Amino acid sequence: MKEKIDFSNLGFNYIKTDYRYISYWRDGQWDEGTLTEDNTLHIGESSPCLHYGQQCFEGLKAYATKNGGVSFFRIQENAKRLQSSCQRLLMPEISIEKFIAACESVVKANLDYLPPYGSGGTLYIRPMLIGIGNSIAVKPADEYLFTVFCMPVGPYFKDGLSPVNFMVSDFDRAAANGTGQQKVGGNYAASMIAHEIAVKKGFADCIYLDPTTHTKIEEVGAANFFGITKDNRFITPVSSSILPSITKYSLLYLAEHYLSMQVSEEDVYIDELDKFVEAGACGTAAVITPIGGILHHDHLHVFHSETEVGPVVKKLYDTLTAIQTGDLEAPEGWIRPIS
State which of residues 55, 165, 179, 284 lies at the interface with ligand COI (CB under 6 A).
284
**According to the binding rule CB under 6 A, does residue 325 interact with ligand PLP?**
no
Distance CA 257, CA 319 (A): 11
**Nearer Cβ to ligand PLP, position 47 or 284?**
284
119, 7 contact by CB (below 8 A): yes
| Site pattern 271..310 for ligand PLP (x: CB under 6 A) | ------------xx--------------------------
By CB under 6 A, which span of 105-113, 215-223, 230-238, 329-337 interacts with ligand PLP?
215-223
Among 42-50, 209-217, 220-228, 311-319, which window interacts with ligand PLP (CB under 6 A)?
Answer: 220-228
Q: Which stretch binds ligand COI (CB under 6 A): 42-50, 173-181, 279-287, 288-296?
A: 279-287
**Residue in 285, 295, 309, 313 binding ligand COI, rule: CB under 6 A:** 285
Q: 178, 90, 93: which is closest to 139 by C-alpha?
A: 90
Position 127 contacts ligand COI (CB under 6 A): no
The least distance separating ligand PLP from the CB of residue 258, rounded to whole angstroms, comes to 17
The residue among 270, 58, 303 whose CA lies nearest residue 185 is 58
CB of 92 to ligand PLP, least distance (A): 22
Q: Do 328 and 337 contact (CB within 8 A), yes or no?
A: no
Residue among 196, 202, 155 at smallest CA distance from 13:
155
Q: What is the DSSP string of 267-324?
A: --BGGGGGGEEEEEEEETTTEEEEEEEEEETTEEEE-S-SSS--HHHHHHHHHHHHHH
Alpha helices per DSSP H over 2-74: 48-52
Closer CB to ligand PLP, 7 or 12, in the complex = 12
DSSP 218-269: EEETTEEEEEEETT-EEEEE--TTS---HHHHHHHHHHHHTS--EEEEE--B
Backbone φ, ψ for residue 242 (5° rounding): -115, 160
Q: How far is the CB of 273 from ligand PLP (least distance, A)?
A: 20
- For the chain, state the CA radius of gyration: 20
Of the candidates 181, 247, 289, 319, which one interacts with ligand PLP according to CB under 6 A? 247
Catalytic residue flag (residue 108)? no
Q: Considering the rule CB under 6 A, would residue 180 count as an interface residue with ligand COI? A: no
Interface residues toward ligand PLP, by CB under 6 A: 59, 219, 222-224, 243, 245-248, 283-284
Report the catalytic residues: 183
Report the interface residues with ligand COI, using CB under 6 A.
59, 222, 283-285
